[in-house]
Structure 1
Amino acid sequence: MKNIKLIVATALFFLSFLSYAQPNAGQSKLKVTGKVIEKSTNLPLEYSTITLKNVNNPNQVFGGITDAKGEFSVDVASGNYNIIIEFISFQPNEINNKSITQNTNLGTILLEDGAKQLNEVVVRAEKTTVEIRLDKKVYNVGNDLMVKGGTVSDILDNIPSVSVDVEGNVSLRGNENVKILIDGRPSNAISVTDALRLIPADAIDKVEVITNPSARYDAEGGGGILNIILKKGKNNGLNGTLIANTGYPENHGISGTLNFKAKEFNLFTTQGYSYRKSPGNSFTNSRYLNDDNSTRDYMYENRENERLNKSYNGSFGFDWFLNETLTWTNIVNYRKSSGNNVDDVFQDYYDGNFVYDYTRNRVNEEDGNSQNIEFSTNFTKKFKKEGHKLTIDASVSSNSDKNIALITDSTNNSANVFTDNTFNDQKQNRNLFQLDYVLPIAKNSQFEAGYRGDFLTNTTDYSVITNGIPLPQFTNILEYKEKVNAFYTQFGTKFNKLSMLYGLRWEDSNIDVNQLVTNDFNNKKYNNFFPSAFFTYELNETSDISLSYSRRIQRPRGRQLNPFNNLSSNVNIFIGNPDLDPAFTNAFDLGFIKKWNKLTFNTSMYFNATSDAFQFVRRPNGDFQDGVPVIISTPINLAKEYRSGFEFTLNYSPYKWWKLNSNFNFFYNETDGDFSYTDIDNNVIFQNFDNKATSWFARITSKVTLPYKVDWQTNMSYNGAQKTAQGKNLGVFAMNLAFSKDVFKEKATVSLNVSDVFNSRKRISETYLPGNVDSYGEFQWRERQITLSFTYRFNVKKNEREKPRNGNGQDDGGDFPG
């Protein structure tokens, strides 16, 4: 095996040299040498590229890269050359018509950071690089200690404006109606929440936060879009990274990236395996009420979860540079996971005077496995004019999830033991095609147009068998088919300091929700226009103000639609609603950014108005388990939801050894709507869901460089309390710690992080249903985690600056012209 690796590495090494032009036979070799340094720091810039193009023979091109000292040496033939010295994200330095007739030393060449563009303000920090653009913010995941050995969920929970609750649900500025994209495409996983927990953090390059998407983007996601960009190789030659981690509770993993880039192609792969246990717990203390709200009896429910997951995540791809203007990219992604979840539920029953009666024990042992495979291809054609390009993307994917659970139910006052077997088999296929065209017009204008076809089929086969007898009320096959065709166009222009971007998107939706066992077929067809508009005014060189508007849609999916998919508790049951309609949102955003020498301040005010918003309601279904009413939770469409608020982000570096990042979000949420249902006595019960609530969220991250170059990072967050239509969610504080030290001459890094130091990251809620139940509950998905990781890099600098890639899908799209 070692010999094979050596042969492959050697072959790749020689291929990299063959890819560069060399002087023709018979020509004398001349050496062009020099040194490249960063102007502001005088530090050498390793991996800078030097290109020499013969003025009289453009096909004769020579090149090289700088070493760790910033020095270079290139062999060329005698002649006149245009020379360009480049380092990614820096302004290039050009030397035109240079005569090379003998060995030539170009001396020390200074490069400085790229100038500010119209659509982009770049805030550089060691932790991340933040690119604030006209219609999105891009967070390049850098040396963030908090996510070492973690997953994508951990990354998202460290991004400003984004939070991830204890169940893995992602929200953007407090709004959970977020569209998650991976490399510009919808995740092909059946459960996006589960997928985010499976992909290792080390596979992520950057995250795009799009709070108010333009017409270029998919209209879905009332709260905005999060686009997760996976790592792909960029550097010349052979390079890569290897990461290993271990932790408690058990959290072991190994992953690596490998890249080889030559003149005509680029090969890259990411491979990773993880083994992790995630113990969790919860309890719900319920007081059941008589019609006059007096106490009838009590039930206290306690749960212990022990989740084990073994997962593999791998991808392989290549860029083929067909010529200087045409690139063809192909990527295959494959993920596989298996695991089990033991959910041990104890229900203690008391009478109205809180005198103990008996205990029921329900043990849910669930085994599951899933696999996901996706192939994507991309053609990018660049034309002669800068920014003029055509991209074509296509992808096909297949995903399957299988879960089998055995539920045993017993009480300490009876010898009877009941068993439930549940079977949940889900299959999903998605085909996607997209075309985007960008045409610069004159100097300061740009036209864009495109098409997107997204075709999805999801089949869920769910059944329950109790003591060997099938339960028809919990057995069904749900078939969900979604066909969405979309066309968009947008136009951007600039007048002096004012930039404008207008867009219009049209989407035609054809949705089938079929319950095959009950022969209940539902088809929903609708088409809608989604306009957008963005205005940015440059107040001066360090500050901008912006105003934007867009219309969005949120389509119900998966668990929200399926009425048969959960039986872990016999008295608290979730049931989906197959008749849910989509929700539509009008979103407005007013933003301001100001930069000082050591401080960057970015703030925005926003307002969202949503019609037919989803709301989860709880109600008794008329059944009883040992005298306890069964409570059903189900989503419904309410009339209106209004959400407004403001947020700000501060990036402050008071000293070279201390960096502070903070994010604060305050929002107001108002719901207007009524709900009615018929109870067991055939009485119509009306519930008013009018609710006004405020909440806030704050996060601060401090990074300090201690003596001996030990980095210490602290992350603290607080989710404020929020009133709901049927109760209240209480405030929660959480803190993470991390330490790291570079070793082996900065080729490797050792990191230690502690997630949820005080074991306080929980969902704490109070629910009150007059005449039914008064309850208090706490839920903790994952207990405190300690992780030790080791990262080794070869031919990759620790804080390497990388140019944003013209990747697949929508990750860089047609950015507004500067």
Structure 2
Amino acid sequence: MIYTPNKIYVNLVFFLTVCLSYAQQNSIELLGTVVEKDTEMPIPYASIVLYDSDTAQKAGTTTNIDGLFSLTTTSKNFKLEISVMGYETKTISKFENTNNRIDLGTIQIAPENKKLDEVVVRAEVSKTVFKLDKRVFNVGKDISSSGASALEALNNVPSVNVNIEGEISLRGSTSVQILVNGKPSVLADQSSNALGTISADMIESIEVITNPSAKYEASGTSGILNIILKKEQKEGWNGSISANTGTPDNHSLGASLNRRTENFNLFTQLGAGYRSLPQYKSGTNKNLISGETLYNEGTEYRNETFFNVTLGTDYHIDERNVLTLSGSFAYEIEDQPSETTYAGYDANDNLISNWVRTETTEATNPKFQYELNYKKEYKNNEEHSLIVSALGRYFAKDLSSEFLDTTISGSENNEKQQVDTDYKYSDYTFKADYINPINDIFTLETGTQYVVNSVINDYEVREWIEHEYIVNDSLSNNFEYSQNVLGVYGTFAYEKDKWGVKAGLRVENTDLKTLLTDTDESNKQNYTNLFPTLHTSYKIASDFSIQAGYSKRIFRPRLRNLNPFVSIRDNVNVRTGNPELQPEFTNSYELTSIFSLGKASLNSSLYYRYTTDVVETVYTFVDNITIATPQNIGTKNSIGFETNGKYNANNWLTFNGDFNYNYFERNGSYEEQSFDFVGRQWSARLGTKIRFPKDIDLELTGNYRSDYKTLQGTNAAYAFMDAGLRKKILKGKAIVTIGIRDVFNSRIYEQFVTQPTFERYSNRSRGRFFTLGISYGFGKGEAMTYSGGRRR
């Protein structure tokens, strides 16, 4: 008999179908729910293993977040073993089979009474350890089982603080980058409440990176926080909705929704609101040659209506391959009214002129971002991975302003001006990272990143002359900016239980171009730099470790520093950019220790930084008008000490604080004027959280920043306090918050510029803010505050 390929295929399909039907008829399904014996609470992620009569493992699974499990077997004689850390192992060997289905119902397991091994005890309690170039905060059951949110988990990390409105800071600075599983993510966007879809029991650990290795781009922020999620994530619906109000106006509605299945994680966030941000200002410009003085005082507003939406999905192709696609869109409508009063006096204190300058500004700002990310884990080790990602962002501003000067008394000072700005910004980041743990001791990392930035800023100023508006060519321009940065890196690490070292090298090429299209003035810079890094750590004892690190960093001048347009919003205190500005480079050395003693933890650092071509704002004085321009001025040596502590006095009282002292030496000159001097600056923050009965939390935070010497003068000291009250209701599913920013209205920025020919004083403050919010978490989501998108 001759079999054609089609006949073979048909017979094969028939054979497999018969075998599959037979297997299904003879397979047995087991299901049940695992709970704690004393509390009847479900136990998630318990290990369920099925053995045959020869004690060979035949099948296995874990319980979900509700303690449920289900598995199938074709074995006739078997037993089931249930185990989870901290509980007695339970074995079941007798079953009642009904139509090939065994329902074990509720299975109770008891906590272990015997003393656990020391290492196991540590694993159950949150603890910080050093890992060469980072500190790793392992989230233990003391946090993950308490129903805390991701923000509350972050707030337990030494050096990290999360205020009652959800703003995250690292070592006192809010300029911190948030990553999820080592990559940028819409879930990590601080401008929304997307973190509300992450709860503490989903977090494996949180990495704190203050002196980044060569793996990270050389232009840094104050640090990086990387949230590592557990493989076993909550299935089902998670989300929250929130409403907020406040004075000055701060009104918003927001919602987050997250749907997790075995293969998909779908998330979305919606928001809308209105807010105003007043700024009170006053100042003095004094001409020391003529004796003339010009005073100004007024209030600027930035009112904004905003809408935003975020959509994204993680697709788990299989156990080792994940594809992420996400995007967000926001639309803002701005209104910026302001009014400033000016008064000029001669050397004899006689009034020369008194006038009012009013501003009417309207703008629309569309912006969006999108991300495509692929992660592959290799079979031999889950840390052996490849991550490839593409991230795109776009922002536009269509702005129109009208300025009117009206004389009150003295010499006439009437003027009308109009400004139109057409601004378009886009950047694209393409990145690939490969990590290979060669063995338990050696690890190799390598990767590349390409960042493309492009900006077009068409700026036109018109002045009212003889009954019509005429373009002022000296103030108008169309500025085009592009910067492309290509980076390649490699690191090699040697790490054992107590000691390790990690060395790395990053190479970055920067291609910068600027062009003033109206005057055909261009600036081109192309430079390649090496950025070496070296990190080491040593574990002296279980509760005491030290870490040392070196890295070279770069600050590339941003568009605001380079664009030479003159801002005329305040036409007696103007600022302009400098297209010839060069990047500044910093060699950073840091020695850090971490010490834990019972309920207290202390992180202390000694650091030294040497910076060349320091970018400083230089003030010049022309016709009683101060002009601020960034310049590269010499070098800066800085040595400092920083300490961060947290003390959990008991289950209702927590203290945390930061202290930073910095001594610096400046050397440089500009236009034959020497700027050599030494100075010091210190800052401190002390916060306390008090937990009252009925799920009421009170948070008080005091801050102080000392005065410090600047290139041409002094910045004054200031102190302020924030307060917040939070109440959990509906068994913690809903939260009501009340916040007061700057309780005593004392956060006032004062700057003094003192030069041989002029003096300048400026004073700015935001005033006291009151906020009220309510949030409700549904499904397995956590209630949290939503305050809308960050301003650009």
TM-score category, normalised to shorter length: 0.7 to 0.9
Separation (CA, whole Å) in 1 of partners of 2:395 and 2:743: 36
| Aligned residue among 463, 467, 470 for 1:466 | 463
Q: Which amino acid aligns with 1:344?
A: E
User: Which residue does the alignment assign to 1:349?
Assistant: 344
User: Which residue does the alignment assign to 1:114?
Assistant: 123
1:256 to 1:600, Cα distance in 2 relative to 1, 3 A: same
Contact 1:425–1:460 (CA under 8 A) maintained in structure 2: yes
Contact 1:215–1:503 (CA under 8 A) maintained in structure 2: yes
Q: TM-score, normalised by structure 2?
A: 0.83
Contact 1:181–1:225 (CA under 8 A) maintained in structure 2: no
**CA displacement 1:216-248 (0-9 Å, x = unmatched):** 000113x64446879999521111111111111
| Aligned residue among 428, 442, 445 for 2:442 | 445
Contact 2:722–2:743 (CA under 8 A) maintained in structure 1: yes
User: Which residue does the alignment assign to 1:191?
Assistant: none
User: Which residue does the alignment assign to 1:656?
Assistant: 651
Task: Give the superposition deviation at 1:280.
Answer: 1.5
SS in 2 for 1:725: coil
Structure 1 residue 589 corresponds to structure 2 residue 590? yes
Separation (CA, whole Å) in 1 of partners of 2:245 and 2:639: 42
SS in 1 for 2:567: coil
Separation (CA, whole Å) in 2 of partners of 1:368 and 1:600: 48
**CA displacement 1:154-198 (0-9 Å, x = unmatched):** x14xx242336xxxxx5xxxxxxx88989977899xxxxxx9996
| Aligned residue among 702, 706, 711 for 2:692 | 706
Contact 1:462–1:565 (CA under 8 A) maintained in structure 2: no
Contact 1:183–1:228 (CA under 8 A) maintained in structure 2: yes
Separation (CA, whole Å) in 2 of partners of 1:145 and 1:647: 20
Task: Give the superposition deviation at 1:85.
Answer: 6.3
1:347 to 1:43, Cα distance in 2 relative to 1, 3 A: farther
Task: Give the superposition deviation at 1:431.
Answer: 1.8
Contact 2:653–2:691 (CA under 8 A) maintained in structure 1: yes
Structure 1 residue 252 corresponds to structure 2 residue 251? yes
| Aligned residue among 709, 712, 722 for 1:736 | 722
Task: Give the superposition deviation at 1:707.
Answer: 3.1
User: Which residue does the alignment assign to 2:428?
Assistant: 431
Separation (CA, whole Å) in 1 of partners of 2:195 and 2:559: 29
Structure 1 residue 476 corresponds to structure 2 residue 477? yes
**CA displacement 1:492-537 (0-9 Å, x = unmatched):** 1124511111111111111111111111111111111111011100
Structure 1 residue 129 corresponds to structure 2 residue 153? yes
Separation (CA, whole Å) in 2 of partners of 1:786 and 1:231: 35
| Aligned residue among 659, 663, 678 for 1:692 | 678
Instruction: Give runs of aligned pairs for residues 305-384 of structure 1, distance below 5 A.
Output: 305-384=300-379
Contact 1:122–1:130 (CA under 8 A) maintained in structure 2: no
SS in 2 for 1:129: helix
Q: Structure 1 regions of 5+ residues with no counterpart?
A: 1-22, 149-154, 165-169, 171-177, 189-194, 677-685, 801-818
Q: Which amino acid aligns with 1:129?
A: A
Contact 1:146–1:736 (CA under 8 A) maintained in structure 2: no
| Aligned residue among 749, 752, 756 for 2:742 | 756
1:288 to 1:208, Cα distance in 2 relative to 1, 3 A: farther
Task: Give the superposition deviation at 1:308.
Answer: 0.6
Contact 2:452–2:484 (CA under 8 A) maintained in structure 1: yes
Task: Give the superposition deviation at 1:43.
Answer: 7.1
1:638 to 1:179, Cα distance in 2 relative to 1, 3 A: farther
Contact 1:616–1:633 (CA under 8 A) maintained in structure 2: yes
Task: Give the superposition deviation at 1:691.
Answer: 2.5
Task: Give the superposition deviation at 1:363.
Answer: 1.2
Contact 1:559–1:565 (CA under 8 A) maintained in structure 2: no
Instruction: Give runs of aligned pairs for residues 710-725 of structure 1, distance below 5 A.
Output: 710-725=696-711
Q: Which amino acid aligns with 2:501?
A: M
Q: Which amino acid aligns with 2:279?
A: G
| Aligned residue among 288, 298, 301 for 1:303 | 298
Structure 1 residue 777 corresponds to structure 2 residue 762? yes
Contact 1:703–1:712 (CA under 8 A) maintained in structure 2: yes
**CA displacement 1:433-466 (0-9 Å, x = unmatched):** 1111111122122111101111111111111001
User: Which residue does the alignment assign to 2:416?
Assistant: 419
Separation (CA, whole Å) in 1 of partners of 2:197 and 2:234: 16
Instruction: Give runs of aligned pairs for residues 191-206 of structure 1, distance below 5 A.
Output: 199=192
1:334 to 1:243, Cα distance in 2 relative to 1, 3 A: same
Q: Which amino acid aligns with 1:163?
A: S
Contact 2:264–2:314 (CA under 8 A) maintained in structure 1: yes
1:630 to 1:109, Cα distance in 2 relative to 1, 3 A: same
**CA displacement 1:761-790 (0-9 Å, x = unmatched):** 1211111121223x332111x321111111
Instruction: Give runs of aligned pairs for residues 222-621 of structure 1, distance below 5 A.
Output: 224-226=222-224, 234-290=233-289, 296-386=291-381, 387-413=383-409, 417-467=414-464, 468-620=469-621
Separation (CA, whole Å) in 1 of partners of 2:196 and 2:374: 23
User: Which residue does the alignment assign to 2:10?
Assistant: none
Of residues 179-188 and 115-124 in structure 1, the stretch that sits farther from structure 2 once superposed is 179-188
Identical pairs, percent: 26
Contact 1:243–1:256 (CA under 8 A) maintained in structure 2: yes
SS in 2 for 1:296: coil
Q: Which amino acid aligns with 2:693?
A: P
SS in 2 for 1:560: helix
Q: Which amino acid aligns with 2:527?
A: Y
Contact 1:184–1:227 (CA under 8 A) maintained in structure 2: no
Contact 2:285–2:758 (CA under 8 A) maintained in structure 1: no
Separation (CA, whole Å) in 2 of partners of 1:346 and 1:520: 37
User: Which residue does the alignment assign to 1:643?
Assistant: 638
| Aligned residue among 775, 787, 795 for 2:771 | 787
1:559 to 1:706, Cα distance in 2 relative to 1, 3 A: same
User: Which residue does the alignment assign to 1:809?
Assistant: none
Of residues 546-555 and 228-237 in structure 1, the stretch that sits farther from structure 2 once superposed is 228-237
SS in 2 for 1:751: strand
Separation (CA, whole Å) in 2 of partners of 1:305 and 1:55: 73
Task: Give the superposition deviation at 1:47.
Answer: 7.1
SS in 1 for 2:451: strand
Q: Which amino acid aligns with 2:32?
A: V
User: Which residue does the alignment assign to 2:669?
Assistant: 674
Separation (CA, whole Å) in 2 of partners of 1:279 and 1:770: 34
Contact 1:603–1:646 (CA under 8 A) maintained in structure 2: yes
1:249 to 1:58, Cα distance in 2 relative to 1, 3 A: farther
Contact 1:424–1:565 (CA under 8 A) maintained in structure 2: no
| Structure possessing the higher radius of gyration over alpha carbons | 2
Separation (CA, whole Å) in 1 of partners of 2:519 and 2:184: 30
User: Which residue does the alignment assign to 2:171?
Assistant: 161
Q: Which amino acid aligns with 1:380?
A: K
1:264 to 1:466, Cα distance in 2 relative to 1, 3 A: same
Separation (CA, whole Å) in 1 of partners of 2:503 and 2:519: 47
Q: Which amino acid aligns with 1:147?
A: E
Task: Give the superposition deviation at 1:274.
Answer: 2.2
SS in 2 for 1:114: helix
RMSD: 3.4
Task: Give the superposition deviation at 1:717.
Answer: 0.5
Q: Which amino acid aligns with 2:153?
A: T
Q: TM-score, normalised by structure 1?
A: 0.80
Instruction: Give runs of aligned pairs for residues 28-177 of structure 1, distance below 5 A.
Output: 28-36=28-36, 48-50=44-46, 52=48, 64-67=63-66, 72=68, 74=70, 77=73, 79=75, 80=78, 101-102=95-96, 107-108=108-109, 110=111, 114=123, 119=131, 120-122=136-138, 128-129=152-153, 139=160, 144=162, 146-147=164-165, 155-156=167-168, 159-163=169-173, 170=175
Task: Give the superposition deviation at 1:118.
Answer: 5.4
1:228 to 1:535, Cα distance in 2 relative to 1, 3 A: closer
Task: Give the superposition deviation at 1:97.
Answer: 9.5
Task: Give the superposition deviation at 1:201.
Answer: 8.6
Contact 1:718–1:734 (CA under 8 A) maintained in structure 2: yes
